Homo-oligomer: A and B are copies of this chain.
Amino acid sequence: MNGAESVVRSLHAAGTEVCFANPGTSEMQFVDALDRTRLIHCVLGLFEGVVTGAADGYGRMAGKPAVTLLHLAPGFANGAANLHNARKGRSPVLNLVGDHAVRHARYDAPLTADVAAAVAPFSDWVGTGTAAATLARDAMAGLAAASGHPGGVATLILPADLGWEEGGEIAPPLPAAAPRALEDGALDRAVALLGPGCLLLVGGTVLERPEALALAAGIADRTGAEVMAPGSNRRLEMGRGRVEIARIPYPIDLALGTLARFDRAVLVEAVEPVAFFAYPDRPSLLLPPGTRVETLAGRDQDGPAALAALADLVGARAATPPDAARPVAPQAGPLRDDALSMAIAAAIPDHAIVIDERLTRAQSAMRFAQGAGPQSWLSITGGSIGIGIPLAAGAAIACPDRPVVALQADGSAMYTLQGLWTQSREQANVTTIILANRSYEILKGELMRVGANPGPTALDMLDLRRPELDFVQLARGMGVPAVRVEDAAELHRAIAAGVREPGPMLIEAVLV
């Protein structure tokens, strides 16, 4: 058994089911091992950003890592932006990155670069294989680092010769990290802060467990504190039967205004709220200066357990979710924001996975969708745009029985558009709604916020109309059926039809 085969067999025995791949020559022995063993489902991406974004989507929904197969430093770099998102979301991903054979690395071959240095800024754990016999053991260490609580991005560098050399040995799984225990006294300190004027900020696994969310809401009801979540999250369980949870808004002034009423904060699997970017004459930290902040549970601790203990201490019970209004299909009319949001919300089926890379449009979609059936809502966690299309592919592969509805800004869609091809190839049940406003609209606001009064060159740099993108042709060119709609009632019908049909579908919603 060669080194590559020992890795593949050990990963499979440890529960790995899917490999997202864009391999090159230095990974051919892994392609061969995957071929011969037929243990792991291989999903091809035509660009590495698709591979890593799909692995993130898979990890968020499966709760365990997929592996990626990437080609040297440039191949890793192509996937790094979405690994950045995965890392910020603590989504479990294990990267296998091929490198030159050990003896070849000293020469200046065209693809030679410092792989270890290139992967480090985008990985929580980095390993490098040193011998065929220990390659599977290294892979198990990487798998354990990616798994557990919190998850993370682990990257194992695999010199090509270690993969093709004989002497590979199957390695047993290693235990993944368990949540770190709460700090002594943290519960009491949190109790002391709770009450009116206190923010209870919950993130991470709390948002993935409806019962934990209900407990957080119960604690707020009991104490007068207010529950919120960060603006963008790995996965939020919402919809009917789940407690609705407010999120910190993105625009800096709105965020500052929302948090101005607090003078204490208790954090549960969350960090102190910070502005997405710095701006002239605005603070970086969003809570008012002097706010007393207590971390009840950090991101590496067990938030749901901490909330259960806190509820016991304050005598709180799980809150009962109120009945949110069911969204209704809108009347015919142009795609203005509320009609657009309602058309989307009304078409979200029970147990949907919603992929959210909206950025500026369909602002009310999430609020309206609270009245739709139970659903998992996946956002862009690291601010690196171009994750929606691959994230949807990966989530659909993790949950083939659940429909995926992807809300996708047009500018961001262009970063990893190739993911549509993977959606088609895998016949993933993804309905993508392109929110076509034909601009980097979010940046127009940002330009104003740095004090600029934009002229023609600046506006032209943020404009996507010259030439106009035709997402219907782009989707069809990659085997995904597509339609263009400009009417709200029509959009609702198109989404509903897309969700019903198996396989992917793209709807270009032309916004006014």
Contacts and interface: CB of A to CB of B under 8 A. Distances in A.
Interface string A90-125: 000000000011011001111101100110111000
Interface in A455-471: 455-458, 460-462, 464, 466-471
Contacts of A471: 477
Contacts of A111: 84, 276-277, 382-384
Scoring A34, A47, A381 by chain B CB atoms within 10 A of each residue's CB, the highest score goes to A47
Contact of A477 (B35, B425, B469): B469
B461 A100 contact: no
B164 A107 contact: no
Given A117-B117, A418-B417, A477 B466 contact: no
B277 A25 contact: yes
Contacts of A446: 24-25, 28
B467 A35 contact: no
Contacts of A107: 272, 274, 284-285
Contact of A411 (B38, B46, B274, B479): B46
A100 B386 CA distance: 20
A210 B280 CA distance: 54
Interface in A60-76: 73-75
Interface string A277-304: 1101000110000000000000000000
A483 interface: no
Contact of A414 (B46, B120, B386): B46
Interface string A237-254: 000000000000000000
A98 to B, nearest CB: 10
A113 B383 CA distance: 11
Interface size class of A (residues with CB under 8 A): 35 or more
A29 interface: yes
Number of copies of this protein chain within its complex: 2
Nearest to A78: B81
A446 to B, nearest CB: 4
A275 interface: yes
A122 B458 contact: no
A231 to B, nearest CB: 9
Nearest to A285: B107
B461 A23 contact: yes
B450 A164 contact: yes
Contacts of A113: 84, 121-122
A281 B137 CA distance: 26
Given A25-B450, A117-B120, 6 more contacts: A32-B454, A35-B452, A78-B78, A104-B284, A114-B121, A472-B477
15 contacts: A24-B443, A31-B447, A44-B460, A46-B411, A73-B80, A74-B84, A77-B78, A104-B277, A109-B383, A117-B117, A417-B418, A424-B467, A474-B474, A474-B477, A477-B477
Nearest 6 Cβ contacts at the A-B interface: A467-B479, A101-B278, A473-B477, A104-B278, A77-B80, A474-B477
